[in-house]
Amino acid sequence: MNKKLIRIIVTALLLVGAIVVEKTTNLPVWQLLLVYLVPYLLISYDIIAESAEGIAEGEPFNEDLLMTIATFGALLIGFLPGAETQFPEAVFIMLFFQIGEMFEDYAEDKNRASIAHLMDIRPESATVLREGVEAIVSPEDVAVGDIIVIKAGDKVPLDGVVEEGTSSLNTVALTGESMPRSVAEGDAVLSGTINISGTLKVRVTKAYAESTVTKILDLVENAQQNKSKSETFITRFARIYTPVVVCAAVLLAVVPPLVSGAFAQNFATWLYRALMFLVVSCPCALVVSVPLAFFGGIGKASRNGVLVKGSNYMDALAKLGTVVFDKTGTLTRGEFEVVSVHPNEMDATELLHLASHVEHYSKHPIAVSLKNAYKPECNECSVQDIEEVAGQGMRASVNGNTVCVGNARMMETLGVGYVHVGGTVVHVSVNNRYAGHIVVSDQVKDDAAPSLGELRQTGVEKIVMLTGDHDKEGGAVAKQLAVDEYHAELLPADKVEHLRKLIETPHHGAVAFVGDGINDAPVLALADVGIAMGALGSDAAIEAADVVVMDDKLSKIPLAIRIARKTARIATENVWFAISVKLLVLLLAVLGVALLWMAVVADVGVTVLAVLNAMRLLKK
């Protein structure tokens, strides 16, 4: 059982016993004080110690000091002429305060548990092959280029490339997705994932300090350093507010009796009211519940594969009014596909056959799309004298025929008449005769349109697309996804300028930029919120972005916004609820209507309710 809970239970029993002693005996006040001091000191020794420590460190004004002063006053007020003893109230204040702190601790533990799954991805060891022998070492001791062995059930300790073996990887801790990812020779693997089935031999590509798992853990551990405006305001507010409250309580205890002309008779009454004022004015409901809400929001986002670098970015996400997208790799797959084949003097299969064989040894994305569209290997024909023509395409001899595959500039250089078609087109000529053209296109992601629709449902007013592609290609994607505005044929510097104009133009809400995180670092850094998409393992993304979507799913962006808005709403509810209740009880305390237990409920009770409200974020 929790030690604090045991203290609370024992104190409650001792308090009941002390009340029985008070009611059944006629002990002098000083003896009765000794009876109540037993439960009081048991429940409050740590709070008194913390308030003393604050005084010693020159930072005395905190909720521990307020509670200590209030309870000391309650213990001493019974010694004043004509005043009733308040010993039970003194113990009850500390008892209820500790109950509130217990709820706070529980909520913080739950929030920490919500991101603890990320801490579980930290690898304890790595099995490295050295001179053909397996050795278990610390991941920090593995060098780039070493071969590590990852057996079924092991965590992947370092980033690398599969040299041997096939398996499935559990990526849920990184992406929030339960679907395993298959890997084979040549595929990249990321630290923090778990090998499900076969044994893998992996060549390490990043040292442990630069690996995905280290960067993500650092990001999560440092997230709370970037506080939201609400948290920053409340921290500053508490520093000024607490000493003001203490001074106000002293004035409330002293000034009215002095003004009345009967100080001795009225001092006990106004001291009692001042003690109530102190207790109810304690700002712990605000100081605790607001950061707790944002911490819970960050934890909930991380469980869904979205890392938010701090509460300030969670705050900005909640206020998004404009979202700007990069196109390639963000709204589209970033992989070209053959859309249509248009032969001139041969059938479509033969045209694709020629183009794919000439492009067989090229790693250009368009060449890859041609090879993927025509699967048979190159041994079907003789391909010789392969030559790359810079900025134009490829030339080769296929079965004795000169075949050129490239763009319109290549056809113009050859003096071959060609069909003028917009978009990304590959033209083919055979022996200086036009053979036809192949249209390739970067395909829009399956979840792009639904995700943009969800964005609008969250309240985002404007969606913009910026791309370096040709206007026709950019326009086609913009039309397909119904974005409000698009700009094409942009260099990285042009994207920065367009985003700056959007930020400087009067608009509602914050501006976010969503990119793949590799060549969009300047724009990600400029936006109110930079969101890196599908950037797992990308150093540029993790460093430049404020929010990192761990997988490639656009649907995570509206989900993150919903989480952020719920977080901000709960924080606001807590602030207004706490202030409203406290103001009401403060007014009643000054008027002499409220009792000390009401002040306790107004402070600790409100704190408990605010903490429970913040814990709603932990719901699945």
Distance separating alpha carbons of residues 408 and 393, to the nearest angstrom: 10
Which are the contacts of 612, defined by CB distance < 8 A and separation ≥ 6?
A: 103, 107
Distance separating alpha carbons of residues 519 and 442, to the nearest angstrom: 18
Where residue 82 falls (left for φ over 0; alpha for ψ -120 to 50; beta otherwise) is left
**Burial (CB count within 10 angstroms: exposed 0-12, middle 13-18, buried 19+), residue 131:** exposed
Q: Which of 191, 195, 194 is nearest to 216 (CA)?
A: 191
Pinpoint the alpha helices (H) of 77-125.
Answer: 87-119
Q: Which of 352, 353, 411, 406 is nearest to 379 (CA)?
A: 353
| Phi–psi pair at 335, nearest 5 degrees | -130, 120
Distance separating alpha carbons of residues 565 and 270, to the nearest angstrom: 44
Q: Which of 496, 467, 499, 502 is nearest to 481 (CA)?
A: 467
Cα 424 to Cα 4, 182, 306, 330, 390: the distances in Å are: 69, 31, 34, 19, 17
Q: What angle do CA 237, 238, 241 make, to 5 degrees?
A: 80
Sign of the Cα torsion 460, 466, 471, 473 reads: negative
Distance separating alpha carbons of residues 238 and 65, to the nearest angstrom: 13
Q: Which helix (H) or strand (E) holds 464?
A: strand 462-466
Distance separating alpha carbons of residues 520 and 270, to the nearest angstrom: 64
Q: How many residues does the chain have?
A: 620
| Chain CA centroid to CA 602, Å | 33
Q: Which of 304, 289, 230 is nearest to 108 (CA)?
A: 289
Q: Does residue 326 carry a catalytic annotation?
A: yes
Distance separating alpha carbons of residues 282 and 68, to the nearest angstrom: 11
Q: Which residues of 454-467 are buried (b: 16+ CB within 10 A; e: fewer)?
A: bbeebebebbbbbb
Single-letter amino acid, residue 297: G
Cα 420 to Cα 336, 385, 451: the distances in Å are: 20, 28, 35
Helices 87-119 and 63-76, packing angle to 10 deg: 160
Which are the contacts of 232, defined by CB distance < 8 A and separation ≥ 6?
A: none
Among residues 326, 520, 552, 603, which one is catalytic?
Answer: 326
Which are the contacts of 48, defined by CB distance < 8 A and separation ≥ 6?
A: 64, 68
Catalytic residues: 326
